[in-house]
């Protein structure tokens, strides 16, 4: 066992520079990998383990190998080098003989020129690896080795599972290992467990201290797994407890306007819609209306595939607010999308006595001032906008319903911020969060675990499925020639490229691609470009002309990903499709297939990575957004998804989804009943747990006021 620190006592908050054997210069290297204090060090978990065999005498080792020629065994021995030879020629190698008084073995290293001159007779050596019997002698080929002090033989090493840490070139695993071992015992002795004994034993979870010990200093191959299970469970449990605390708080402490709803209001609202609601839309609307009728703030996630028709559902909720004399807000992730919502909602409400306004970053100061004044006076009924709605100066007279479109682009923090717009700390609007990227169940349970979920299944009637083809760049000419024919027949197309300007990465860009098409395959057709750098007016003009059929093909970046709705556009070509994420491809494809024609989506790509290949295959074989979302999670892992990073909640340090789904279920179930039993985690038994939950998630979930 390593000696314990002798100077200042080690605490979790002890600076890494004060750890025995670290010092200020290597502390800098630790800080580079975000290890600043002892707690960070202990939280830096090994990435894997090296199984070190127990050390034996050569005689014992030789008894392990059966006397048959060619028999093998894994061993570790210590001894002294008797002879070393360096052999050149066709099979350059180093041969040595190792003896320990009980026997002799031959060591051979092939192709290891760097070892030349490193070994000398008389040198002490520990070797481990596979030993093989050749007739009457034993040989190890390319064994691992370590020099030792032959004059001062140490205790024979016992079996060990040596932790391997991720480090850097100048902070190797062994160095981190030494530091961890130096702090582990004193640190763990101070580590109180936030889970009480009965709870732990019922679930076969080790104590927190024991879990860290198992991970950093396992005594067998199974301990790291058991330790990790506890640590992963902890992360999930703390998050779920935070989520249920928040939920309970919202239900108990916050009040939203209870909105009037009856048959007359319903007919009045639906009469505005230019189509019959689908059964699924109706179901979802009923769920929402039921929420809005009570003074508990709704907190609902509305998911439905691209084009499923979420907008009217949101509009229904907003009109319920207006019908009862309150206001509603709708926040979209991009200006283009906010503008489109504004346009389509204005159209549906034309002639109605509902005042709608648009608030985006591009308003002039005077326009903005006027909007804000009419908002606070209550003149404006519905405000649609971008994240500009979140600014401090945006104050509603009486906000009853807040709709957030495309939640995954915002994240939990912002969700919390929009809520407080209505003034008093105890009032909150009903919140409807919409996403067109179906959230895999696994994730919605964690990231969005405090939301109730409504799902629109299927698409409105009359849609033809989109045919998706995935082809190599080498077929681009054929593809464009074919698309040109369809354009000649009056169809419209989107051509999506990854960048606006020529880049050094050899990607197709909007400008040169437009040029290439104008002079080539699409000669004589009406073309236009669309990307984020074009100003709002011009972008809107272009979209209007495209929608009006005055443009045949639009060469664009992913700005068209969300929103735009042009039923006559029935072809989409995506260049460098391997550069886009699954959710993005699915969104892009959702722009077509909105009219009566059979639509075609062509993915042009020659993917090099396995991930990219997998993505393209998924998108080519299914158009079910839910399935795509699950696949996306499998391929990319959850950390990348849905702005999870910005949300401040994921990724986890130890837990990993969907791998730890069972643990997540257990955490969720337990957290729910825990909060039911002790709604504020009050009392001595849960005091530490409460502190840790708030420390981990209080800020991100806006739990500061739960006290």
Q: Is residue 143 involved in binding ligand ADP (CB under 6 A)?
A: no
Q: Is residue 278 involved in binding ligand ADP (CB under 6 A)?
A: yes
Total residues binding ligand ADP (CB under 6 A): 16
Instruction: Evaluate whether 304 touches 310 at the Cβ level (below 8 Å).
Output: yes
Instruction: Evaluate whether 386 touches 333 at the Cβ level (below 8 Å).
Output: yes
Residues of this chain, 6-45, that bind ligand ADP according to CB under 6 A: none
Using omega within 30 degrees of 0 as the cis cutoff, is the peptide bond preceding 309 cis?
A: no
For residue 370, give both structure tokens. 């006027």
Residues of this chain, 595-634, that bind ligand ADP according to CB under 6 A: none
Q: Is residue 337 involved in binding ligand ADP (CB under 6 A)?
A: no
Query: Least distance to ligand ADP from the beta carbon of 519, Å?
Result: 35
For residue 206, give both structure tokens. 């080790």
Instruction: Evaluate whether 74 touches 138 at the Cβ level (below 8 Å).
Output: no
Q: Among residues 297, 307, 438, 625, which is the contact residue for ligand ADP, using CB under 6 A?
A: 307
Q: Count of alpha carbons within 13 Å of 449, Cβ hemisphere only?
A: 28
Q: Is residue 311 involved in binding ligand ADP (CB under 6 A)?
A: yes
Pairing relationship of beta strands 492-496 and 144-148 according to DSSP bridges: unpaired
The residue number with the shortest CB distance to ligand ADP is 309
Query: Least distance to ligand ADP from the beta carbon of 277, Å?
Result: 5
3-state secondary structure 46-97: CCEEEEECCEECHHHHHHHCCCCCCCEEEEEEEEEEEEEEEECCCCCEEEEE
Q: Among residues 502, 565, 640, 656, which is the contact residue for ligand ADP, using CB under 6 A?
A: 565
Cα–Cα distance between 515 and 496 in angstroms, integer? 14
Pick the closer one to ligand ADP by CB: 308 or 555.
308
Sheet containing strand 553-556, strands side by side:
466-471, 599-604, 569-575, 492-496, 553-556, 527-530
Pick the closer one to ligand ADP by CB: 220 or 347.
347
User: What are the contacts of 616-622 at 24+ separation with CB within 8 A?
Assistant: 616/470, 616/577, 616/578, 617/470, 618/582, 619/468, 619/470, 619/577, 619/582, 619/585, 619/586, 619/589, 620/468, 620/469, 620/470
Pick the closer one to ligand ADP by CB: 344 or 622.
344
Instruction: Evaluate whether 242 touches 674 at the Cβ level (below 8 Å).
Output: no
Cα–Cα distance between 355 and 382 in angstroms, integer? 6
Q: Which stretch binds ligand ADP (CB under 6 A): 94-102, 275-283, 357-365, 372-380?
A: 275-283
Which runs of consecutive H residues, i.e. helices, occur in 520-599?
Answer: 536-547, 582-589
Instruction: Evaluate whether 480 touches 525 at the Cβ level (below 8 Å).
Output: no
Pick the closer one to ligand ADP by CB: 80 or 266.
266
Q: Which stretch binds ligand ADP (CB under 6 A): 2-10, 251-259, 299-307, 500-508?
A: 299-307
Give the H or E element holding residue 344.
helix 335-348
Pick the closer one to ligand ADP by CB: 95 or 565.
565
Query: Least distance to ligand ADP from the beta carbon of 306, Å?
Result: 5
Query: Least distance to ligand ADP from the beta carbon of 444, Å?
Result: 17
Q: Among residues 186, 458, 460, 595, which is the contact residue for ligand ADP, using CB under 6 A?
A: 460
Q: Among residues 98, 245, 312, 655, which is the contact residue for ligand ADP, using CB under 6 A?
A: 312
Pick the closer one to ligand ADP by CB: 209 or 277.
277
Q: Is residue 446 involved in binding ligand ADP (CB under 6 A)?
A: no
Query: Least distance to ligand ADP from the beta carbon of 283, Å?
Result: 12
Phi, psi of 704, rounded to the nearest 5 degrees = -55, -30
Tell me the per-residue interface mask from 515 to 554 with ligand ADP, x by CB under 6 A, - otherwise.
Answer: ----------------------------------------
Q: Which stretch binds ligand ADP (CB under 6 A): 43-51, 160-168, 303-311, 637-645?
A: 303-311
Q: Which stretch binds ligand ADP (CB under 6 A): 18-26, 101-109, 273-281, 656-664?
A: 273-281
Which runs of consecutive H residues, i.e. helices, occur in 399-520?
Answer: 412-419, 441-444, 476-488, 510-519
DSSP state of 255: B
Q: Is residue 275 involved in binding ligand ADP (CB under 6 A)?
A: yes
Q: Which stretch binds ligand ADP (CB under 6 A): 27-35, 301-309, 321-329, 375-383?
A: 301-309
| Exposure b/e, 373-391, CB count within 10 A at least 16 = b | eebeeeebbbbbbbbbbee
Q: Which stretch binds ligand ADP (CB under 6 A): 42-50, 59-67, 272-280, 419-427?
A: 272-280
Q: Which stretch binds ligand ADP (CB under 6 A): 239-247, 271-279, 474-482, 669-677?
A: 271-279
Pick the closer one to ligand ADP by CB: 92 or 460.
460
Task: Report the sign of the C-alpha dihedral through residues 70, 76, 79, 84, in that order.
Answer: positive
Q: Count of alpha carbons within 13 Å of 86, Cβ hemisphere only?
A: 11
The strand pairing partners of 573, in sequence order, are: 495, 602
Cα–Cα distance between 525 and 527 in angstroms, integer? 6
Q: Among residues 304, 411, 625, 643, which is the contact residue for ligand ADP, using CB under 6 A?
A: 304
Phi, psi of 653, rounded to the nearest 5 degrees = -80, -40
Q: Which stretch binds ligand ADP (CB under 6 A): 18-26, 38-46, 304-312, 652-660?
A: 304-312
Pick the closer one to ligand ADP by CB: 80 or 540.
540
Tell me the per-residue interface mask from 230 to 269 with ligand ADP, x by CB under 6 A, - otherwise.
Answer: ----------------------------------------
Q: Which stretch binds ligand ADP (CB under 6 A): 196-204, 259-267, 300-308, 686-694?
A: 300-308
Pairing relationship of beta strands 527-530 and 466-471 according to DSSP bridges: unpaired
Q: Among residues 29, 249, 310, 576, which is the contact residue for ligand ADP, using CB under 6 A?
A: 310
Pick the closer one to ligand ADP by CB: 435 or 446.
435
Pick the closer one to ligand ADP by CB: 137 or 275.
275
Q: Is residue 427 involved in binding ligand ADP (CB under 6 A)?
A: no
Query: Least distance to ligand ADP from the beta carbon of 273, Å?
Result: 7
Pick the closer one to ligand ADP by CB: 148 or 348.
348
Q: Is residue 308 involved in binding ligand ADP (CB under 6 A)?
A: yes
Instruction: Evaluate whether 144 touches 201 at the Cβ level (below 8 Å).
Output: no
Of 384, 389, 390, the residue nearest 339 (C-alpha):
384
Q: Is residue 137 involved in binding ligand ADP (CB under 6 A)?
A: no
Query: Least distance to ligand ADP from the beta carbon of 560, Å?
Result: 13
Q: Is residue 277 involved in binding ligand ADP (CB under 6 A)?
A: yes
Q: Is residue 442 involved in binding ligand ADP (CB under 6 A)?
A: no
Ordered DSSP codes for 655-684: --TTTTHHHHHHHHHHHHHHHHHSTT--SS
User: What are the contacts of 606-612 at 24+ separation with CB within 8 A?
Assistant: 606/472, 606/473, 606/474, 606/578, 607/578, 608/578, 609/578, 611/635, 611/636, 612/578
Question: Given the rule CB under 6 A, which residues bind ligand ADP?
Answer: 275-278, 281, 304, 306-312, 436, 460, 565
């Amino acid at each position: 066992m390593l000696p314990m620190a002798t100077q200042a006592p080690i605490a979790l908050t002890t600076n890494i520079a004060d750890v025995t054997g670290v010092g200020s210069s290597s502390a800098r290297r630790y800080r580079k990998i975000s290890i600043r204090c002892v707690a960070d060090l202990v939280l830096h978990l090994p990435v894997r383990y090296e199984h070190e065999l127990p050390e034996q005498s050569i005689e014992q080792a030789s008894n392990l190998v059966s006397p048959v020629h060619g028999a093998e065994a894994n061993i570790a021995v210590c001894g002294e080098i008797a002879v070393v030879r360096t052999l050149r020629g066709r099979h350059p190698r180093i041969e040595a003989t190792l003896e320990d008084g009980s026997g002799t073995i031959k060591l051979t290293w092939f192709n290891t020129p760097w070892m030349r001159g490193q070994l000398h007779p008389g040198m002490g050596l520990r070797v481990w690896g596979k030993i093989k019997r050749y007739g009457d002698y034993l040989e190890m080929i390319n064994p691992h080795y370590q020099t030792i002090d032959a004059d001062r033989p140490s205790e024979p090493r016992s079996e060990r599972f040596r932790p391997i840490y991720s480090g850097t070139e100048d902070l190797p695993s062994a160095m981190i290992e030494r530091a961890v071992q130096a702090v582990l015992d004193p640190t763990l002795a101070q580590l109180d467990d936030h889970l009480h004994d009965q709870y732990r034993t019922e679930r076969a979870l080790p104590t927190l201290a024991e879990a860290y010990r198992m991970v950093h200093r396992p005594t067998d191959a199974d301990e790291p797994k058991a330790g990790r299970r506890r640590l992963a469970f902890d992360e999930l449990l703390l998050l779920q407890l935070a989520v249920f605390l928040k939920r309970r708080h919202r239900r108990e402490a916050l009040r939203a306007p209870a909105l009037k709803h009856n048959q007359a209001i319903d007919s009045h609202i639906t009469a505005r819609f230019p189509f019959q609601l689908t059964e699924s839309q109706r179901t979802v609307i009923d769920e929402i209306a039921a929420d809005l009728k009570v003074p508990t703030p709704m907190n609902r996630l509305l998911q439905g595939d691209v084009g499923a028709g979420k907008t009217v559902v949101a509009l229904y909720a907003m009109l319920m607010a207006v019908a009862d004399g309150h206001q509603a807000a709708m926040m979209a992730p991009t200006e283009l999308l906010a503008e489109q919502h504004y346009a389509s909602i204005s159209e549906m409400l034309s002639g109605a006595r509902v005042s709608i306004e648009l608030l985006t970053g591009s308003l002039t100061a005077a326009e903005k001032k006027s909007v804000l004044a009419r908002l606070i006076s209550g003149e404006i009924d519905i405000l649609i906008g971008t994240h500009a709605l979140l600014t401090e100066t945006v104050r509603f007279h009486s906000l009853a319903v807040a709709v957030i479109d495309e939640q995954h682009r915002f994240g939990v923090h912002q969700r919390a911020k929009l809520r407080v717009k209505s003034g008093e700390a105890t009032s909150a609007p009903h919140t409807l969060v919409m996403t067109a990227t179906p959230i895999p169940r696994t994730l919605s349970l964690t990231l969005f675990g405090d939301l109730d979920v409504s799902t629109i299944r299927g698409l409105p009637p009359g849609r033809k499925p989109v045919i998706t083809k995935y082809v190599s760049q080498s077929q681009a000419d054929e593809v464009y020639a074919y698309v040109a024919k369809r354009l000649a027949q009056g169809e419209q197309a989107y051509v999506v490229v990854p960048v606006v300007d020529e880049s050094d990465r050899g990607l197709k860009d909007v400008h040169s691609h437009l040029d290439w098409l104008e002079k080539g395959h699409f000669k004589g057709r009406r073309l236009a470009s669309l990307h984020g750098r074009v100003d709002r007016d011009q972008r809107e003009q272009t979209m209007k002309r495209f929608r009006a059929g005055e443009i045949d093909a639009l060469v664009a970046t992913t700005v068209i990903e969300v929103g735009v709705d042009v039923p006559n556009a029935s072809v989409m070509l995506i260049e460098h499709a391997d550069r886009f994420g699954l959710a993005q491809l699915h969104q892009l494809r959702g722009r077509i297939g909105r009219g009566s024609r059979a639509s075609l989506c062509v993915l042009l790509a020659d993917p090099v990575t396995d991930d990219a290949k997998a993505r393209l295959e998924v998108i080519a074989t299914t158009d079910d957004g839910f399935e795509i979302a699950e696949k996306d999670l499998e391929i990319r892992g959850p950390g990348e998804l849905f702005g999870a990073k910005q949300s401040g909640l994921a990724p986890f340090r130890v837990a990993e989804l969907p791998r730890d789904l069972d643990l997540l279920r257990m955490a969720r179930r337990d957290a729910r009943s825990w909060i039911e039993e002790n709604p504020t985690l009050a009392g001595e038994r849960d005091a530490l747990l409460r502190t840790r939950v708030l420390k981990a998630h209080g800020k991100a979930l806006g739990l500061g006021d739960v006290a």
